[in-house]
Amino acid sequence: MSDQIYQVAAVRRPQPNFRVIAMIVASAMFMEQLDATVLATALPTMARDFGVSAPSMSIALTSYLLSLAIFIPASGLMADRFGSRTVFRSAIAVFIAGSIFCALSPNLLCLVLARLLQGLGGAMMMPVGRLVLLRSVARKDMVSAMSWLLVPALIGPILGPPVGGLIVTYLDWRWIFYINVPVGIIGFILVSIFIQDFKGETKRRFDTVGFILSGIALGSLLFGFESSSRPGEGSLALFLISIGLLFGMAYLRHARRHPSPIMDFSLMKIPSFGTSVIAGSLTRITQGAQPFLLPLYFQLGFGFSAAKAGQLVTAAAIGSMAMKAFAPKILRRFGFRNALIFNGFTATFGYALCAFFRPDWPLGLIFAVLLMCGFFMSFQFTAYNTVAYDEIDRDRMSAATSFYTTFQQLMLSLGICVGALALHVSMTITGTGDTPQLRDFSFAFLFVTAISLTATFWNLRFASAAGADISGHGGDKPAHAEH
């Protein structure tokens, strides 16, 4: 019955190749991911134009995080009520409008308001884009499609700083936002042509109290994690994280009593989904720390210029791009469980090697290690993000995507916090002073990679046949109803 309702709700049109759908969604997400990181490089220049101090510009970053924290949990309900294509297309339009207002901002206050609007679009693009893909692509093509989708999430934070440096050096900082306009318009048109509009089967009552509690909890946690990476804001970070945890507990208590909570933690009882959320979260802490640690490592520890450091870290982006051709074959041969266990060790080992980088290492060797890191970590996330939905019923797909994306964003931000904390702990123990030394970076890399290593215990909990009809591992399996 559920499948029939979705078939009736879908607009009748020829189904495009799954790569077309994946690349449309990936392009919109890349625009969002790149914008989120490229801005950090331009903040000092923007501060001079606005006549404010550089540290005060951090509110331009945190205001965006606030919108993400508030609206990501509501994205699934919005997609069910108004249709996934409608919401995704509207999210792109809102993001474009926010980008234009950011570019036209005459002062910091206007920029913050524009970033809040931009964040509303970004919050809907991430989970609804994934939902569009899950509902549009056949299960047999899911691994390939997801590997294309994850590329922007991995390379956006890496390419952001060097792209931002080029724009600030050779163009006006406002072009950081203007470049979103043509990309967004093309995406809007392609979504209108190729993406079907699916609506949810049931009309869930909006969880207003949960919306408020989760918004305060997630916003405080994201702000706290982000503040912890900046010197002198440890007390503020601790306060915000405490507030986030307090409201988070209040939300959990509320969610147990509400018939349709805005973040449905009962999804964690589904074996493949719950295991993927936990193991993926542990791994994302390590991944989130890399864009923070690597540029500092090369600039402060090696004495490289920002441009040279940016060129090196693009190796991980190239590696993640190369992975997409191999993921379906590897998963078909070994299955999700075996591949996640073995590849988890390999990906963790790659980032652990970064701890031993030294200025006398050949640049080609450093580039090769980072290339390997990008390749194996990209595979890991492709597998997690695909097998997570193996046992999710169609009528819970929107709730699952918003839940999963919320934790994904939270854990990547936590990775920055953990990386900064590890760096400060090492500096305190060794008495380094204000500038971290090579040994401090080595400690930080080993610390964050130890966290992702613990994901192995959760990878072992995947069933041996988990996602078999998606990967094709073990021959023909009885296919589940396509999600």
Domains and CATH numbers, the chain: 1-206 (1.20.1250.20), 266-471 (1.20.1250.20)
Lowest mean pLDDT across 74-83, 226-235, 284-293: 226-235
Nearest to 354 by CA among 377, 337, 336: 377
User: Which pLDDT score, from 0 to 100, does residue 483 have?
Assistant: 38
Instruction: Judge whether residue 275 has pLDDT over 90.
Output: yes
User: Which pLDDT score, from 0 to 100, does residue 202 have?
Assistant: 57
User: Which pLDDT score, from 0 to 100, does residue 191 have?
Assistant: 86
User: Distance between CA atoms of 128 and 19, rounded to whole angstroms?
Assistant: 17
Over residues 122-126, mean pLDDT: 84
Q: How much is the pTM?
A: 0.78
User: Distance between CA atoms of 21 and 142, rounded to whole angstroms?
Assistant: 11
pLDDT classification of 425: cutoffs 50, 70, 90: confident
Name residue, tokens 């078939």: 7
User: Which pLDDT score, from 0 to 100, does residue 476 have?
Assistant: 47
pLDDT in tens, 136-166: 777 777 777 777 776 666 666 666 767 776 7
User: Distance between CA atoms of 310 and 295, rounded to whole angstroms?
Assistant: 7
The angle at the Cα of 420, spanning 415 to 423, to the nearest 5 degrees, equals 125
Higher per-residue pLDDT: 225 or 55: 225
pLDDT classification of 8: cutoffs 50, 70, 90: very low
Q: How many CA within 13 A on the CB side of residue 203?
A: 1
- What the block records as the tokens of 334 is 């070994």
Is the distance from CB of 366 to CB of 312 less than 8 angstroms?
A: yes
User: Which pLDDT score, from 0 to 100, does residue 11 have?
Assistant: 41
Name residue, tokens 């190796």: 315
Nearest to 390 by CA among 339, 347, 337, 341: 337
How big is the chain, counted in residues? 483
User: Distance between CA atoms of 364 and 201, rounded to whole angstroms?
Assistant: 54
Lowest mean pLDDT across 14-18, 55-59, 97-101, 125-129: 14-18
User: Distance between CA atoms of 221 and 227, rounded to whole angstroms?
Assistant: 10
Instruction: Judge whether residue 182 has pLDDT over 60.
Output: yes
Over residues 227-244, mean pLDDT: 78
User: Which pLDDT score, from 0 to 100, does residue 308 have?
Assistant: 76
Instruction: Judge whether residue 61 has pLDDT over 80.
Output: no
User: Distance between CA atoms of 415 and 396, rounded to whole angstroms?
Assistant: 29
> DSSP state, 201?
S
Over residues 252-268, mean pLDDT: 87
User: Which pLDDT score, from 0 to 100, does residue 153 have?
Assistant: 61
Higher per-residue pLDDT: 231 or 413: 413
